Structure 1
Amino acid sequence: MATESRPPLPPFTLETAQKKVKAAQDAWNTRNPEIVQFAYTPDSIWRNRSDFLQGRPAIVEWLGKKWAKENGYRLRKELFAFADNKIAVQFWYEWYDEAGQWWRTYGLEDWTFAENGLMRKRQMSGNDVKISDDDRWFKDGVDVNTVDISEKHW
């Protein structure tokens, strides 16, 4: 749809870039690919670790597989840098696998936006680290935005 848009729109300011990051965090924390896909252009291109994909149908399929594997997924994103129509994000998310092992994924994302505010390119690099239940930051009932990431020992 040509009239489709997703404010805030580029060029970004500090305030609008931070809003864009938290809107993405909130959408991903729904774990609903049908909702998440509409933040991206219909032909959006992605690199997620070693996976390359293009278009909303591929995004929906990929996210469905991701969240079928990553149980208890809880994500925190923070603005790292921005300029014009680009945003860089650092993120942390926790999840457990089919055996009940908890993991924390650390990473960075590079986003490029179309004029209508939809993301047209997303690149993600991340690493998974085994953690114990006691080491979790984003336990049930904890608002991920209240966790003081700067004080955490990595």
Structure 2
Amino acid sequence: MTIEQKPPFPPFNTETAKQKVRLAEDAWNSRDPEKVALAYTVDSVWRNRAEFIQGREAIVAFLRRKWSKELDYRLIKELWIAQENRIAVRFAYEWRDDAGSWFRAYGNENWEFDENGLMKRRIASINDLPITESERQYHWPLGRRPDDHPGLSDLGL
């Protein structure tokens, strides 16, 4: 039996936590539910807004549902703090609905990892703000945010 691992591993320092945050951002920007789910333990527990999710299959179903509604999704995550096997991040993402209305979602996540670098707990608090198309700040092609694109702090978000 192969043990699943997702480096970097806890305990995290600032640099390894930043790496973990960027890897998570990149995976979510792929909008590939199966790929994203592999970063979580098979029995991972989530609270996403008011929804409670447990296990990879439920994570995949949730993400499929999410990205079928949140079109042109682009996300930026930023490390808030890391200690031992826990990381706190803040994030903002932009998306539009099928009617063409744009939104920016702001939130915070608390992450807890197992010894193999897989996330076993994710607690997310998120709020959506309607924005106009001209207020959008994320204009890179769908997929990974380019390395030279400003982060949240640089954008004043």
Equivalent residue letter for 1:83: Q
Q: Which residue of 2 aligns with 1:69?
A: 69
Distance in 2 (CA, whole Å) between partners of 1:39 and 1:14 is 20
Tell me which residue corresponds to 1:131.
131
1:13 matches 2:13: yes
Please give the root-mean-square deviation of Cα atoms over the aligned residues, in Å: 1.6
C-alpha distance in structure 2 between counterparts of 1:89 and 1:140, whole Å:
22
Give the structure 2 partner of residue 58 of structure 1: 58
- The match for 2:38 is 38
- Post-superposition CA distance 1:54-95 (Å, at most 9, x none): 000000000000000000000000000010000000001000
Q: Distance in 2 between matches of 1:150 and 1:98?
A: 29
**Cα pair distance change 1:11/1:83, threshold 3 Å:** same
Q: Deviations over 1:93-140 (max 9, x none)?
A: 000001100000000000000000000000000110011111101014
SS at match of 1:146: coil
Task: Tell me the SS of whatever aligns to 1:68.
Answer: helix
| Aligned-partner residue type, residue 110 of structure 2 | D
Aligned counterpart for 1:146 among listed residues 126, 142, 149: 149
Q: TM-score, normalised by structure 1?
A: 0.94
Question: Contact conserved, 1:111 with 1:119, CA < 8 A, in 2?
Answer: yes
Percent of residue pairs identical: 51
Cα distance between partner residues in 2 of 1:77 and 1:144 = 13
Instruction: Give the letter aligned to residue 57 of structure 2.
Output: P
Cα deviation for residue 148 of structure 1 reads 4.9
Asked whether the equivalents of residues 91 and 152 of structure 2 are also in contact (C-alpha less than 8 Å), the reply is no
> Given that residues 37 and 60 in structure 1 are in contact (C-alpha distance below 8 angstroms), is that contact kept between their aligned partners in structure 2?
yes
* Structure 2: distance between partners of 1:148 and 1:74: 12
- Please, which runs of 5 or more residues in structure 2 have no aligned partner? none
**1:116-127 equivalences in 2 (<5 Å):** 116-127=116-127
* TM superposition score normalised by structure 2: 0.92
